[in-house]
Amino acid sequence: MRTFLRYIAPRIGFLLVPVLLLGCGTKDKSVATVDPSLGKELGTTIGSVADVARPEPVAVEGYGLVARLAGTGSGACPPDVRAYLKQYILAQVPGSSVAPDELINSKTTAVVRLEGLVPATCVRGDRFDVKVTPIAGADTTSLHGGWLYAADLKLAGTFGPSARTLGVVEGPVFINTIGVAQPDLLTGYVLGGGVAQYDYVGAVQLRRADFAMASAIRNRLNERYGANTARAVSPRVVEFAIPAEFRGRRARFVSMVAATFLADVPQEMPTRVEALARQLVTSQDKEPAEFALEAVGRESLPKLRSLLNAPDTEVRLRAARCVLALRDDAALETLRTIALDEASPYRREALDAVLVSARRNDAISLGRRILRDKDPHMVLAAYEALRRMEDVAVRREPIGRSFHLEQVVQTDRRAIYVSRSGAPRVVLFGSPLDCHDDIFVEAANETVIVNSRAGQDHVSLTRKAVSRPGVIGPVRSGFAVSEIVRILGSERQRAEAESVSGLGIPYTDVVAVLEQLCAKDAVTAEFWAGPPPKIGRIVKE
């Protein structure tokens, strides 16, 4: 489907402001601000004179074509969608000789409806999951094994060729088989296949039109957070971008905008910082004071450092998080101690603070140490961060075009993790992981068999052909789980059966096989499944 990039405004996020600002005048819809009881004595904050829209994921939708189905598709397609897809096919499907109507009518394809949520405060290139279902009235029986050709995603409710494209999507269709008695073969997901096509732009809306105040807000944001952070677009609206240094803490930055004082008066600063620090220590809701102290800037550091030894762990956490975010390493040891304290309810927050705000070497050092933690949630958090930083502790390789195989060796855990949201991947913790002999495992749809008799020196992998009689394989594998995964997922080469090296099975079936291997104790490892896609409901950041 052709991507209409030439129609996208330079700041498309601002075009969405009317949608995001609905109801923002009510307190529960605006972002956190400084305690109003402190406002008069400390000075005017942006949040005391204006509403800052709370970022929300943006619902998008579209239509596309899923191919590579084993005769389970449908040619049903409403005329308007067919006309739209015919243009899409000519632009996206390889080969100029493709007849669009024949492709749409084929039982190896299915016209599908696409739904997704572009992340709140997104930047161009951010990825998200996309839900895939057959269009209403189609007689499609399964999307298993399908591949979604590239498609455009529009703001929900605005579908059409002239509507602006907010995202694009392409990739293999994943069917969830974990934790369900009977997999829904008509509901699939392209994991991490959606790609945002715009940068979020936030909005400050004054409660009454005042160009002088709008200019003052713009100037203060540019002074505190960097030139070109904000611009006044009307006497009531100031729009702002998220500075590069806050890309890992985007939602927090929006809250800091509301907590930023309009006037930076040096002689008032000690009183202001002292009052905010007192609120951090004594208030039941400590978050507004934390945001405000960071918004003040490095002038708050001396007082924040004095709180690093506070008796209340939550105070220490919040003070240390601010100190580190303000580029002072004095907080590093405080956060490390909390993160490594197995009894602390704040250890995950402390870990996240270090992974996001610390210097790369410090973040990697703590991340690698947490890989050996007893809590699988902490282990996964550390792994995700090390993966993003492309640290050598996480070895990564593509398997076909469908997913990645990753191996984490610097850990005491022995586990197999499979993602069901974000990038599709199989992660082996405690590599090398090996299977035992005397195993027989079959995927839920009985298309894949993993077999090894007692005393046998290899594992046999066989794929039953879906679209025609016969089988592919068996292919011999060693007992290493990594080798089994490679053979299962690697694209099958066009060769004679006896020389086949990859079975090219979908990620869906690789996940099912690995779950069965762990369930039947064929491999001594825990099985960890990531959370399923959160599509169909708005999820707060």
Q: Can you give the pTM of this predicted structure?
A: 0.88
Residues linked to residue 222 through DSSP beta bridges, in sequence order: none
CA distances to 162, 316, 370, 373, 381 from 363, rounded to whole Å, are 45, 19, 11, 16, 12
pLDDT at res. 263:
87
Which run of H or E residues covers position 474?
A: strand 471-477
In which residue ranges of the chain is pLDDT below 70?
1-41, 92-97, 444-445, 465-469, 493-500, 536-541
48 backbone dihedrals φ, ψ, rounded to 5°: -85, -15
Is 261 within 8 Å of 299 (Cβ atoms)? no
Per-residue confidence (pLDDT) for residue 472, from 0 to 100: 82
CB atoms within 10 A of CB 306: 11
Q: Mapping DSSP to helix (H, G, I), strand (E, B) and coil, where does residue 120 land?
A: coil
C-beta separation of 523 from 433 below 8 A? yes
Q: What pLDDT does 499 receive?
A: 56
How far is the first Cα of the chain from the last one, in angstroms, to the nearest whole number?
A: 31
Q: Show Cβ contacts of residue 122 under 8 Å, excluding neighbours closer than 6 positions.
A: 58, 196, 198, 199, 200
Helix, strand or coil, per DSSP, at residue 169 = strand
The pLDDT of residue 267 is 80
**Is the CB of residue 120 less than 8 Å from the CB of residue 199?**
no
**Beta-carbon contacts of residue 47 (< 8 Å; ≥ 6 apart):** 30, 31, 33, 34, 257, 258, 259
